[in-house]
């Protein structure tokens, strides 16, 4: 008898946003037999996302991250939320657009009118408080947050954020979905940055500031953090994986909501964003990569 976490799910998952995180979450779900409708309104994004999903599935297979005996889910693409078959009763909706509270609130407010009450509305965010978004939706009890790491299909642990108005039934339904995706779930309460971003992102900012001030090179900062403190990749290589533009967005969210000067993005990070050096996805960040992710 197979476990619930191994059984393919017939109900679709709707993912809004085909950027780095939307693609990663879609790849994870497809790998575990969950059909996905991936939505992005930018005309040129979905074909690129399709290729990146194929690459991600191959990478997951090479890394042994695919469950055995599970037929991958079917991918459907939509260029507008209105094209989604909402009558099919999705298992959940995951919003994974850019880290902009106003845009997230607008998208969630539109979607909440299309789905049945009790359907989990999940904002995948690294830093925006869930209750801040809940004010924009008609059923705040259906809204909660996730913070998947990148790449979602290789990193098994997920922050699940319970907002002050999140209902227990929606929380449990989301846990069940994440169990199906074989994720280790850690439920945290709502706050700017939650746990991982509140701790990690100011630390990366400090690491970049150390380089900016000339104390050490990028490579030496990462080597010291790896060799002395056990950081798996080093903070600056991690910044490249997160996306330096995404990191800066998150730091601004933290700074504006906490007033912590340590969260104000340093000039080195800001200059890399201005120059388009966003990390692995652009081919260059603190390090140079042969191809963009």
Give catalytic residues, as residue numbers.
Answer: 147
Cα 115 to chain centroid, rounded: 22
* Distance, CA of 193 to CA of 213 (rounded, Å): 26
Helices 244-258 + 267-274 axis angle, to 10: 130
Hunting for tokens 């080597």 — which residue is that? 223
CA dihedral 213, 214, 215, 221 (to 10 degrees): 100
Q: Are 115 and 90 in contact (CB under 8 A)?
A: yes
Specify whether the CB–CB gap between 124 and 146 falls below 8 A: yes
3-class state of residue 82 by DSSP? helix
The CB density around residue 119, as the number of other CB atoms within 10 Å, is 21
What backbone torsions phi and psi does residue 207 show, to the nearest 5 degrees?
-65, -40
């Amino acid at each position: 008898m197979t476990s619930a976490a191994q059984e393919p799910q017939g109900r679709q998952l709707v993912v809004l946003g085909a950027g780095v995180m939307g693609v990663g979450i879609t790849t994870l779900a497809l790998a575990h037999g969950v059909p996905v409708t991936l939505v992005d309104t930018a005309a040129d994004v979905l074909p690129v996302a399709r290729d990146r999903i194929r690459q991600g599935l191959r990478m997951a297979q090479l890394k042994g991250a695919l469950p055995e005996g599970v037929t991958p889910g079917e991918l459907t693409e939509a260029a507008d939320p209105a094209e989604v078959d909402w009558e099919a009763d999705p298992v959940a909706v995951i919003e994974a657009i850019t880290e902009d509270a106003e845009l997230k609130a607008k998208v969630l407010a539109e979607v909440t009118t299309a789905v049945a009450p009790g359907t989990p509305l999940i904002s995948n965010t690294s830093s925006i408080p869930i209750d801040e978004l809940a004010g924009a939706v008609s059923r705040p009890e259906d809204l909660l947050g996730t913070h998947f790491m990148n790449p979602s299909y290789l990193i098994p642990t997920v922050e699940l954020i319970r907002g002050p108005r999140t209902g227990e039934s929606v929380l449990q339904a989301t846990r069940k979905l994440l169990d199906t995706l074989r994720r280790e779930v850690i439920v945290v309460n709502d706050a700017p940055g939650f746990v991982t971003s509140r701790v990690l992102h100011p630390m990366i900012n400090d690491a970049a500031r150390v380089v900016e001030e000339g104390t050490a090179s990028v490579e030496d900062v990462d080597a010291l953090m790896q060799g002395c403190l056990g950081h798996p990749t080093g903070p600056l290589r991690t910044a490249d994986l997160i996306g330096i533009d995404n990191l800066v967005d998150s730091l601004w969210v933290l700074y504006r909501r906490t007033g912590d000067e340590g969260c104000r993005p340093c000039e080195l990070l800001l200059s890399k964003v201005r120059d388009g050096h966003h990390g692995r996805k652009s081919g260059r960040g603190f390090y140079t990569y042969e191809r963009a992710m």
